[in-house]
Amino acid sequence: MILSILQMVLKRIGNNVGLTIATALGLVVTVAVVVGVLTYADGVMERLLQADLTKEADRPPAAVLVRHLENAEQPTDMRQFQHLEDYMENQAIGVVGVPVLFRVRYFSADTMPLYIGGVDDPRVANSTVYARPCWIEDVEKHIDIIEGRLYSEAAPAPGEDVEVIVSEDAAMELHLRLGDRRLTTGPDKHKGEQAMLRVVGIYRAKDPKEPYWIYDPGAFYNRLLLSRAALFSSILQPIPEVRHEYSWYMVFDHAQMHVTNVGRTITGLYRLQSRVATIMPSTKLDISPLKTLETYDRKAFFLKILLFILSVPVVVVVLYYIVNSATLVVDRQRAEIASIKSRGTSDWQIVGIYLVEGILVVGVALIVGPLLGVLVAQLIGKAYGFLLFAQRPPLPVSLSEQTIQFALGAGALALLASLIPAYGAARHTIVTYKQEVARSIRGGPWQRYIIDIAVVGIAAYGYWTLQGKQSVVQIGEAGDVFMEPFLLLIPAIFIFAVSLVFLRLFPFLMQALSWLATRLGSVSISLAVRQIARSPGYYTPVVLLLVLTVALGSYSASMAETLDTNYSDHVLYRTPADLVLQEVWEYNESSKSWSYPPLERHQVPGVVHYTRVKTFDAWPTTTSNAPKGTIMGVDPSDFVKVAWYRKDFSYNSLGLLMNLLAAQEDALIVSPAFLVDNGLRVGDEVTLNVAGANIDFQVRAWTSYFPTLFPQDGYFYIANLEYIFDHIGTSPYDVWLRLERNAKTADVLEALNKNQVYILDFQDGRAEVGAGRTDPQRTGLFGVLSVSFIVAALLTVLGFLMYSFLSFQRRMLQMGILRAIGLSSGQLLALLVFEQVFLILVGAAVGTAVGVFTGNLFIPYMQVVSDAKDMIPRFVVVTAWGEMVRMYLLLGCMLTLALISMAWLLARLRISQAVKLGEEQ
Amino acid sequence: MKVMASANAQKQPSASGPFIICEGLVKIYKVADLEVVALQGLDLQVQRGELMAIVGNSGSGKSTLLNILGGLDRPSAGRVTVGGLDLLKLSGREFVRYKREMVGFVWQQTARNLIPYLTALENVELPMIMAGRAGKSGRAWAEQLLEEVGLAERRHHRLSQLSGGEQERVAIAIALANKPPLLLADEPTGSVDNRTAYQIFDIFRRVVTNFGTTVVIVTHDHSIASKVDRVVAIRDGKTSTETIRRLDVDRDALLDRIILGETHDEYVVLDSAGRLQLPREYLERLGISGKVKVELEDSYIKIMPASGKE
């Protein structure tokens, strides 16, 4: 029986291939998006993990040091020590769970005195040296004995000397030579606990840079190496007051640390930490990658949350699309369902049929989806702007368990979505079905007011919540990021709400337009508009889809552009030129003057322009106790060609300001606070004390902001550098450069060097802006937004295609009649095309309006600030018209393709036959 | 399959009482502000194994009655019992079972009866699958049914490959898939020619004889009386007349029953309140409207136009 059901289901699918594929595509896309976003997050975090782990140059990554330093109050309990050693030997590595590259044990005693003769030998009263006897596991493999020999492994018999070896440095430091004997005691040298040490060899480390050396061998200038047996039997046991130190050093294979097992590793390390402290108190993890891992883990978590939140709108859009195309499928099958039901099938059996169909389709989706998802992940990784992709090396991709779980969940969700219309239809019998056909065409539950009210309510609540905050994200003092994910969703919810409201008004809009259209006189246009006006409910889902897509797209584009612009403005305010150089100046004591590279020398290949800039502290002499301010000296004609400035900093352009300086050598541009606080006006004369000299200026203009100058730091002024130097003499200044677009910073620096311009330090404005672009969070942000839009656009176009085609099929008879009464096929085609174009235009226009409006309302909350200074320059909302044009082009191309394919499909329907055949089921 | 000539066309009085009992059946439709009374207190009884037809003009309520019998609609008032089951007392689940096990339906539009992308055989198997009774025996039964309706060699054809009459016949086979005791047909011969109509009625009669199924046909074709046992006419939502076909049989011939001729007796049905509907032609001929005079004679009742009334 299962076989026959399956056969039937397959035949069913075959009957509706086009629509089923369309629905299936929705399912595939759901899975692909979920897998893509998660895989991207995993991939980029994997890269970040390895980068973070290997960041510390002086230590191998993933090194762990378990160290016990004996506590004076708690003498070493040898039994505890045994336990600990057992544990470290057998279990420790398993607990951490990562393969280990190598281990080294390092046991030592605290510093002990070395006496040449007896303890009271006057010869060494003032020059007692101290050394630490220690044993390092496997040390013999890592050193070369240059004099003498290695110590013997066995413990010395009582009365025998303890054999030790020392490094060359130690030999020098401790005044030891081969064969020397030294007496060593505990802290109380008269207690009688002592040992006699004899230097039997001098060594040198084979490769001091080896990861083997926990401590730099150079630090062994006071260490005596001996065998483990000797250490215990001759030093640690007989002289109990000496502090013991036991260390286990392990280097784990960081290449085996992945995103997928970071959590476990962190837990393992904590377990290790608490275990060793329990077994033997005062044992700690002195070195471990815990902090790195935890920081990383938190970063990864936030990234995932961020990307997840960003994907929610597109997933909702896809689910909506699935419900719609499933509705179309079910609508076509209504008669069939009604007839089956009337023969005595329960609702659940009918849903069951759809469930079997759905499972087959979901099965396909779960195979194709993840593969597509991997591609999506790579695409996300290549984004650097909205719908802008760069060539970048591919991400390491792997499908983690979590991703697969989410994929299954997404598939199940999509399946449920596709079953909603089935359940709705299952409740009709033929009788009720005919009743409903007789009534006007209703939209689905989406048209019910309750959903509108709910969504608008949530959006309003969200907006009200945001009013009280400055930003969606706050950075606390510890540098931790605090973000309410819900707030990131609010703009999307708002867009949904406004779109739904618009759709309520859509029928009225169409009525109005239909009245207008009849005045236009074109048959095609008025018929098309009337058709839409008559049954607006039919088209609502697709128009909603289009509006949502365009709105989300324009919002995303604007948000991305805004964040990008503001980020680079933020950087540029602090580094306002392509290169800011601090150069090497030489001060001649005798002539009390500086020698420095002349400006012309900066004209090297790649440099477009250059200028001098210098800032000094300045005090206005007008008032006593005047607060310190900053004065920036510039060369006006050059400065304007090099520096970055933003229109909203003042009423005047930079050019105008510089003209004022150029025209008058004592001109001064000031911050408005200076004028206001001191009751001054433009045109007044002021005197500033700069570097000890009083200089007269005349105020010619004011500006709220100026690159590198912050009102929080006090008053600021801008004046002619030359004028200032006239008063105080030339002193070292910075040189700002503007470079050609494809000039490489390194090349320019080298060229300058060759030209005898020696650079002390430099700031690379372009690099800093560029660095932000590859930040995984930003890449993820832009990537997900871009992919979301592409997906939504694709589905919208598919939706349009399906709806139009089906609507035409249904209206075959109507169209046949139109042809029969004299409408030419050209006019008919115009009618159909116009209908689609009209819907698209309305949808796109409304979508744009909604998106831009939402952007202006909510984007300011997307600013990330940790302190007031970060808010300079001011956050400006940019409406990304340029990006949106790109978006329209993409959408337009897709829709044109859809229209063309629809026209082709239509040509295959023989409309003229429709009248003959009559109404078909 | 052997087809027995049915000489006995009289209805068999069933020991357990009538198969279908309708008493005072009322159905009111409310659509927006419109109220339509489709059935106004209809009384009907159908015996088991009867082949009967319900005729009436459009709007008379016959389709509504059929829908109620088929479990597709619930009456507003009155009582209806099918095979001992009180249809007003069935729960949702019991209704589903009723439709599946007790009733076979053949709809007017053949497109509704068949699923277009399945073959004839698969269509007949479908109700059995839904009832959980598919499998080898199901397939065998399906093939037998198709043979019964004479379409054995067309069993792998789909809807679009069958003619209208063939589609109708497949529909009958589908309706019988779960061996229901009641078969309902809505205008089964509406869109076919005479010869096919005859074929179809032949099938109905065979079904009654071979399977003991009760068959109720709804049609607006009044000439159907010659082909079924009993015809009940419905007017304005109530039964108005009944026509019973009676075979005159030579009771003296012992070996063969010879059919001498067919006559039809037409009766006017009284409802439980003693009301009857007078045929319209009579009323018009005598110009009767409003009131009549009724007189009791010895063995009949005389109805006369009221004197002085026009």
B85 and chain A in contact, CB less than 8 A: no
CA separation for the pair A691, A708 (Å, rounded): 20
pLDDT digits (tens, 9 = 90+) for A258-270: 877 888 888 988 9
| Band (A523; pLDDT cuts 50, 70, 90) | confident
Backbone angles phi, psi at A311, to 5 degrees: -85, -15
pLDDT-based confidence at A880, cuts 50/70/90?
confident
> For residue A204, what are the CA distances in angstroms to A133, A180, A181, A207, B114?
17, 18, 20, 9, 96
Using CB atoms, pick whichever of A1, A7, A336 lies closest to residue B135.
A1
At B6, the pLDDT band (50, 70, 90 cuts) reads very low
pLDDT digit string (tens) for A709-741? 888 888 899 999 999 999 888 888 999 999 988
Query: pLDDT-based confidence at B253, cuts 50/70/90?
Result: very low
Min distance A563 CA to chain B CA atoms (Å): 56
Measure CA A705 to chain center.
30
Chain A partners of B126 at a C-beta cutoff of 8 Å? 8, 340
| CB within 8 Å: B115 and A336 | yes
Whether the CB of B101 is below 8 Å from some CB of chain A: the reply is: yes
Q: Is the pLDDT of residue A893 over 60?
A: yes
Residues 6+ away with beta carbon under 8 Å from A460: A497
pLDDT at A482 over 60: no
- B20-277: which CATH number, 3.40.50.10490, 3.40.47.10, 3.90.1150.10, 3.40.50.300? 3.40.50.300
Radius of gyration of chain A from its Cα atoms, rounded to whole angstroms: 39
Residue B18 is predicted with a pLDDT of 85
Q: How confident is the model at residue A659 (pLDDT cuts 50, 70, 90)?
A: very high
Q: What are phi and psi of A199, to 5 degrees?
A: -80, 115
Residues in chain B: 310
Measured in whole angstroms, the distance separating CA A336 from the mean position of its chain's CA atoms is 51
Query: Dihedral through CA A149, CA A154, CA A159, CA A161, nearest 10?
Result: 20
CA distance B195 to chain A (A): 25
Q: How confident is the model at residue B10 (pLDDT cuts 50, 70, 90)?
A: very low
Q: Check pLDDT > 70 for residue A101.
A: yes
Q: What is the pLDDT of residues A173-188, one digit of tens each?
A: 888 888 888 888 877 7
pLDDT of residue B12: 38
Please report which confidence band the pLDDT of residue A125 belongs to, taking 50, 70 and 90 as the band edges. low
Task: Write the ipTM.
Answer: 0.74
Contact A4 B134 (CB under 8 A): yes
User: What pLDDT does residue A916 have?
Assistant: 57
User: Which residues, at least 6 apart from B176, have a Cβ–Cβ distance to it below 8 Å?
Assistant: B104, B145, B183, B207, B211, B213
Q: Give the C-alpha separation, A370 to A367, whole Å.
A: 6
Q: Which amino acid is at A689?
A: N
Gap between the Cα atoms of B22 and B7, Å rounded: 29
In this prediction, residue B103 carries a pLDDT of: 92
The answer to whether B130 contacts A12, with C-beta atoms less than 8 Å apart, is no
pLDDT, residue B1, reads 27
Residue A319's alpha-carbon distances to A23, A98, A401, A783, in angstroms, are 10, 41, 24, 21
pLDDT of residue B183: 94
Q: Which runs of consecutive H residues, i.e. helices, occur in chain B?
A: 62-69, 92-97, 110-113, 120-130, 136-148, 164-175, 194-211, 280-286
Cα–Cα distance, B228 to B48 (Å, whole number): 14
Task: Quote the minimal CA–CA distance from B41 to chain A in Å.
Answer: 21
Average pLDDT over residues A864-883: 72
Q: Does residue B215 surpass a pLDDT of 90?
A: yes
Pairwise CA distance, residues A562 & A707, whole Å: 19
**Cβ-count burial of B20 within 10 angstroms (0-12 exposed, 13-18 middle, 19+ buried)?**
buried
The pLDDT, as a whole number, for residue B129 is 86
Owner of token pair 């059995």: B128
| Mean pLDDT, range B59-63, rounded to an integer | 79
Structure tokens at A419: 């079953």
Label residue A54 by pLDDT band (50, 70, 90).
Answer: confident
Question: Helices A812-820 and A776-810 meet at what angle, rounded to 10?
Answer: 60
Contact B273, B256 (CB under 8 A): no
Contacts of A345 in chain B (CB under 8 A): 96, 100, 130
CB A566 within 8 A of CB A863: yes
Q: Is B261 a residue whose pLDDT tops 60?
A: no
What residues of B are in contact with residue A429 (Cβ under 8 Å)?
Answer: 72
Q: Say if the Cβ atoms of B72 and A339 lie within 8 Å.
A: no
Q: Tens digit of pLDDT for each residue in A770-810?
A: 777 777 777 887 888 888 888 888 888 888 888 877 777 77
Give the pLDDT score at A909.
65
Q: What is the pLDDT of residues B156-185, one digit of tens each?
A: 988 888 888 888 899 999 999 999 999 999
Beta-bridge partner residues of A595:
A586
What tokens appear for A5 in the block? 């059901």
Name the residue among A4, A12, A336 with its Cβ closest to that of B129: A4
Q: At what angle do helices A825-858 and A485-520 cross, to 10 degrees?
A: 150
Q: Tell me: pLDDT of A437 over 80.
A: no
Query: What is chain A's mean pLDDT, rounded?
Result: 82
Closest CA to A494 of A464, A465, A545, A456: A456
Lowest-pLDDT choice from A134-143, A145-154, A750-759, A905-914: A905-914
pLDDT: which is higher, B248 or A391: A391
Quote the CA–CA distance of A300 and A40 in Å, as a whole number.
11
pLDDT band at A478 (very low <50, low <70, confident <90, very high): very low
Report phi then psi at A73, rounded to 5.
-75, -20
**CA dihedral sign of residues A486, A491, A496, A497:** positive
Interface mutation vs chain B, best among A3, A343, A351, most B CBs within 10 Å: A343
CA distance A829 to A899: 11
Residues 15-34 of B with CB under 8 A from A: 31
Instruction: Provide the shortest C-alpha distance from residue B136 to chain A (in Å).
Output: 9
DSSP A241: T
Token pair for residue A904?
Answer: 């082709």
B109 and A339 within 8 Å at the Cβ level: the answer is: no
pLDDT at B310: 41
- Split at pLDDT 50, 70, 90, the class of A814 is confident
Dist. CA B285–CA B64, nearest whole Å: 31
Contact A860, A877 (CB under 8 A): yes
Give me the residue label for tokens 């939140």.
A309
Cβ of B117 within 8 Å of Cβ of A15? The answer is yes
B123-141 exposure pattern, b = at least 16 Cβ within 10 A, e = fewer: bbbbbbbbbebbeeebbeb
pLDDT, average across residues A756-767: 87
pLDDT score of A124: 54
Q: Tokens 């506590």 belong to which residue?
A: A71
* Confidence category of residue A456, pLDDT binned at 50, 70, 90: confident
The pLDDT mean for chain B works out to 80
For the record, the structure tokens of A664 come out as 């008058």
Of A390, A285, A298, nearest to A48 (Cα)?
Answer: A298
pLDDT at B309: 44
Q: Is A225 left (phi over 0), alpha (psi -120 to 50) or beta?
A: beta
Nearest to A1 among B73, B115, B129 (CB): B129
Residue A435's pLDDT band (cuts 50, 70, 90): low
Closest alpha carbon to B233 in B62, B107, B23: B62
Q: Name every chain B residue with its beta carbon within 8 A of the beta carbon of A335.
A: 111-112
Nearest CA in chain B to A920: B111
Q: What is the pLDDT of residue B4?
A: 27
pLDDT exceeds cutoff 80 at A531: no
* Rounded distance between C-alpha atoms, residue A381 and residue A389, angstroms: 9
pLDDT for position A502: 84
pLDDT over threshold 50, residue B80? yes
pLDDT of residue B177: 92
Cβ of residue B221 closer than 8 Å to a chain A Cβ: no
Which range has the worst mean pLDDT, A207-211, A260-264, B306-310? B306-310
| A chain contacts of residue B70, beta-carbon cutoff 8 Å | 342
Q: Which of residues 43-72 of B touch A (CB under 8 A)?
A: 67, 70-72
Using DSSP, state whether B59 is helix, strand or coil.
coil
Q: Read off the pLDDT band of A438 (50, 70, 90).
A: low
Residue tagged 């939504």 (tokens): A792
Distance from CA of A342 to the nearest CA of B (A): 7
The domain locations on chain B are 20-277, 281-310
pLDDT of res. A668:
92
